[in-house]
Amino acid sequence: MMDSMSDFTDSVKKNLNEIQNMFDEYQKKNFPERSPEFFCLELNGEAGELANAEKKKWKGKDIDESVFCDEAADVLIALMNYVNSRKIKLGDAVHEKLLTIEKKRKFLAEKGMTY
């Protein structure tokens, strides 16, 4: 079990970068090259499908849980394709963002506030 924020953020960085590299290899081997703009639009489309399923559930419609799993997977795949097309190291970016969030969370906690 991780016992510190540093262990957590370091693990996120390492594992996300590794997963991203595997997605990149898979994409390049099996699909045509696409622009970052294409993948950005794809990502937004997939996120919209997930949001639409949540909206339907929120309105009281019976949505099978598998829909959320499928749409969340589509969002992750689209995100991986986008960051790879932009040459963004997602693990590094998330690592830095988590450190920024933690710094702000601690600052607010010292003032008795929540993030």
Tens-place pLDDT, residues 4-20? 888 999 999 999 999 99
Tens-place pLDDT, residues 36-68? 999 999 999 999 999 999 999 999 999 999 999
Per the CB < 8 A criterion, the answer to whether 105 and 9 are in contact is: no
- Give the three-state DSSP class for 60: coil
Domain 5-110 fold is Helix Hairpins (1.10.287)
User: Is residue 3 classed exposed, middle or buried when 0-12, 13-18 and 19+ CB atoms within 10 A define those classes?
Assistant: exposed
Tens-place pLDDT, residues 69-98? 999 999 999 999 999 999 999 999 999 999
**Beta-carbon contacts of residue 9 (< 8 Å; ≥ 6 apart):** 95, 98, 99, 102
